[in-house]
C-alpha cells in the first residue's frame, strides 16, 4: 500500500460550514483538504491516508438537481483521483444519507472508486444502499445523531484504509458493516441439509443459531387513541395510491419508489377540479384516473368540513405508493408523522387502495 492513501470526503452544506437548513439549496462545491468532521477523520487515519479535498452540496439541491451534482462529482473525482471516497457520516438525516449513497454509487459504477459511508441503520438511505447492491461501497452503522461522531469516524477511517488499499473485506456479519443483500459464492464445511437440520435442532433446543435467510418482520404497532374532540380537530389525508399532480413533479416511479410528497388542496372542493396522474403498479389505476376522489376523498371531506364534523381540513395531502422496501416505508411513516405534527394536524385519514 502507498504510504499515504488519497481520500476525497463528501459532506452536506452543514458539515462543510456553509450553513444550516437555510443553505440546503446551495450548489455543489469543493474545498481543499479536510473540513468539519473531515478533520476528525484525518486524525483517525493516523498518517496512513490524506484527505485531499472535500466535496459538498446542499441537501435540497442534491435532491432537486441530481444530474447537475453527479456531473460535478464525476469531474472532481476524475481530477482528484482518490483511492477511496468517504461520505458522511449522515447519521439519521435522510436527504444527506441519500446524497452520500448516490455519490458513492456513482463513484463505483462510473470510475471504479471504492467508498465508505456512515449511516444510522434507521436512515432511509440504507434502503437505497442495499438496493444498489454495490460491491465497492461499504456502509458503517452509526448512532442516530452527531453525538456518535467520534465512534463513527473511527470505524469509517479503519474500513476506508482497508478498502482503499485493496485489502479483501469479509462478509458483513464478520466485518460489522451494514449488509448489502448480496450473496457471494463461498465454501461451507457442511451440506445444506446438515446445516438446516443443525439450525432446526438448535431452535427446538432453545440454543442460539443464525439463519442463512434473514426475514424482515413488521413491528406490532398499537392503535392511536381517538381524537378527543373531532369538531375542533384539524384533519389531514395520507394516501398510498400514488396519486400525484399532472406532470409527476416529484418523479414518483412505479416500482421501488423511495419518496413521498405533499400536494396542495387549497381552493379545491373535489379532486376532479384538477388533473392528476397515478404512479402505482399494485392495482388497476383507470378508476383512480377517472376520479381522484377515490384516492383523496376531497369531495366528501369538504362536505364534512362544511357541516362541522371537523373544524379544518389540512390544505395539503401526503402521497406515496406501497412499492418501496419495508424499512423505507417505516422511515416514510416517521417523516410524514413529523411533518403533520409540525402542521398542527390532530387526526389523519389513511386512504386504502
Residue 24 sits in the same domain as residue 166: yes
DSSP state of 92: T
Q: Return the CATH number at 39.
A: 3.40.50.2300
**Plot region of 170 (φ>0 → left; ψ -120 to 50 → alpha; else → beta):** beta
Q: In the chain, how many domains are there?
A: 2
Considering the domain boundaries, does residue 162 fall inside one? yes
Residue 171 sits in the same domain as residue 241: no
Task: Look up the pTM and report it.
Answer: 0.64
pLDDT in tens, 185-232: 778 899 999 999 999 999 999 999 888 876 666 667 788 889 999 999
pLDDT in tens, 163-172: 999 999 988 9
Percentage of the chain beyond pLDDT 70 is 97
Res 317 pLDDT > 70 = yes
Residue 11 sits in the same domain as residue 144: yes
What is the rounded average pLDDT of the residues 72-78? 97
The boundaries of the domain holding residue 50 are 5-175
**Virtual CA dihedral for 116, 122, 124, 128, nearest 10 degrees?**
50
Considering the domain boundaries, does residue 181 fall inside one? no
> CA-CA distance, 269 to 60, in Å (whole number)?
31
Q: Determine the angle formed by the axes of helices 149-164 and 37-45, rounding to 10 degrees.
A: 50
Residue 241 sits in the same domain as residue 330: yes
Residue 153 sits in the same domain as residue 21: yes
pLDDT in tens, 244-300: 999 999 999 887 788 999 999 999 999 999 999 999 877 888 899 999 999 999 999
Give the angle subtended at the CA of 329 by the CAs of 323 and 332, to the nearest 5°: 120
Question: Given this model, what pLDDT does residue 193 score?
Answer: 94
Considering the domain boundaries, does residue 258 fall inside one? yes
Question: Given this model, what pLDDT does residue 32 score?
Answer: 97
Res 27 pLDDT > 90 = yes
Domain boundary among 175, 190, 218: 175
> CA-CA distance, 105 to 79, in Å (whole number)?
18
Q: Determine the angle formed by the axes of helices 94-111 and 125-132, rounding to 10 degrees.
A: 20
Q: What is the pLDDT confidence band of residue 1, given thresholds at 50, 70 and 90?
A: very low
Considering the domain boundaries, does residue 184 fall inside one? no
Res 135 pLDDT > 80 = yes
Residue 160 sits in the same domain as residue 13: yes
Domain boundary among 149, 175, 201: 175
Residue 153 sits in the same domain as residue 250: no
- Coil, helix or strand for 349? strand
Contact 290, 213 (CB under 8 A): no
pLDDT in tens, 149-160: 999 999 999 999
pLDDT in tens, 37-71: 999 999 999 999 999 999 999 999 998 899 999 99
Percentage of the chain beyond pLDDT 90 is 76
Amino acid at each position: 500500500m502507498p504510504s499515504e492513501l488519497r481520500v476525497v470526503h463528501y459532506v452536506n452544506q452543514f458539515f462543510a460550514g456553509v450553513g444550516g437548513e437555510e443553505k440546503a439549496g446551495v450548489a455543489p462545491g469543493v474545498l481543499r483538504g479536510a473540513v468539519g468532521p473531515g478533520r476528525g477523520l484525518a486524525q483517525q487515519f493516523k498518517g496512513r491516508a490524506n484527505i485531499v479535498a472535500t466535496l459538498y452540496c446542499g441537501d435540497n439541491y442534491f435532491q432537486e438537481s441530481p444530474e447537475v451534482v453527479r456531473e460535478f462529482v464525476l469531474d472532481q473525482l476524475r481530477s482528484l483521483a482518490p483511492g477511496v471516497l468517504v461520505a458522511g457520516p449522515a447519521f439519521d438525516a435522510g436527504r444527506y444519507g441519500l446524497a452520500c449513497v448516490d455519490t458513492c454509487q456513482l463513484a463505483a459504477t462510473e470510475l471504479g472508486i471504492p467508498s465508505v459511508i456512515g449511516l444510522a441503520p434507521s436512515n432511509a438511505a440504507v434502503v437505497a444502499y442495499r438496493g444498489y447492491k454495490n460491491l465497492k461501497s461499504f456502509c458503517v452503522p452509526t448512532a442516530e445523531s452527531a453525538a456518535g461522531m467520534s465512534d463513527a469516524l473511527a470505524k469509517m477511517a479503519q474500513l476506508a484504509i482497508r478498502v482503499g488499499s485493496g485489502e479483501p473485506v469479509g462478509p458483513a456479519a464478520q466485518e460489522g458493516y451494514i449488509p448489502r443483500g448480496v450473496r457471494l459464492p463461498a465454501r461451507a464445511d457442511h451440506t445444506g441439509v446438515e446445516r438446516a437440520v443443525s439450525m432446526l435442532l438448535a431452535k427446538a433446543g432453545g440454543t442460539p443459531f443464525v439463519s442463512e435467510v434473514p426475514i424482515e418482520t413488521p413491528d406490532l404497532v398499537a392503535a392511536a387513541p381517538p381524537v378527543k374532540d373531532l369538531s375542533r380537530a384539524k384533519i389531514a389525508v395520507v394516501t398510498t395510491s400514488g396519486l400525484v399532480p399532472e406532470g409527476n413533479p416529484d418523479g414518483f416511479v412505479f416500482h421501488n419508489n423511495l419518496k413521498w410528497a405533499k400536494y396542495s388542496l387549497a381552493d379545491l372542493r373535489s379532486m376532479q377540479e384538477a388533473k392528476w396522474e397515478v404512479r402505482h403498479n399494485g392495482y388497476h389505476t383507470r378508476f383512480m384516473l377517472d376520479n381522484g376522489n377515490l384516492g383523496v376523498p376531497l369531495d366528501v371531506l369538504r362536505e364534512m368540513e362544511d357541516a362541522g364534523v371537523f373544524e379544518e381540513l389540512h390544505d395539503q395531502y401526503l402521497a406515496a405508493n406501497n412499492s418501496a422496501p419495508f424499512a423505507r416505508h417505516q422511515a416514510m411513516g416517521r417523516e410524514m408523522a413529523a411533518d403533520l405534527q409540525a402542521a398542527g394536524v390532530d387526526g389523519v385519514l389513511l386512504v386504502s387502495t
